[in-house]
Amino acid sequence: MAWDGKIPFVNDKPLIYVDYWLKDVEWRDNEPFEDILTFKTYSRGRSAARLVFLSKALKCNVEMFLGDFSSIVPLLQKGKLSGTFKFVKKGQNFGIQRIEVDACPIGL
């Protein structure tokens, strides 16, 4: 089944993976949004390594796939990254991605 571009949320928090048994999953449109992310740690899942950031806009942790990290390294300032973001899907997992990699960091 093809991905329709919607992002799963539970209790206003984006999910990185949707388990079949979860109830109350809200599927939202994947609208770009402005945010400031603060690096926290990394995580390893069943099939991917991800970076964990605290999202100022969403007020929760979000995860970025390791493959998307190299494009944002030069933009990190004291562990913070600002810009426009969207969610992406790789395999069965969801993560966040910066979509304006050439813009200057703002609001740090």
| 23-51 confidence digits (pLDDT tens) | 889 999 999 999 999 999 999 877 778 99
Among all chains, which residue has been given the structure tokens 């979509």? 99
- Structure-token pair, residue 16: 């990185």
Question: With contact defined as beta carbons under 8 Å apart, do 56 and 37 qualify?
Answer: yes
Report d(CA 66, CA 22) in Å as an integer.
26
Kindly report, residue by residue over 96-108, the tens digit of the pLDDT: 999 964 555 555 5
- What is the pLDDT, as a whole number, of residue 104? 54
Q: Is the pLDDT of residue 5 over 50?
A: yes
Q: Is the pLDDT of residue 1 over 90?
A: no
- What is the pLDDT, as a whole number, of residue 86? 96
- What is the pLDDT, as a whole number, of residue 69? 87
Kindly report, residue by residue over 48-88, the tens digit of the pLDDT: 789 999 999 999 999 999 988 888 999 999 999 999 999 99
Classify residue 71 as left (phi > 0), alpha (psi -120 to 50) or beta: alpha
- Burial state string for 61-81 with b = 16 or more CB within 10 A and e = fewer than 16: bbbbbeebbeebeebbeeebb
Per-residue pLDDT band for 8 (boundaries 50, 70, 90) equals very high
- What is the pLDDT, as a whole number, of residue 101? 46
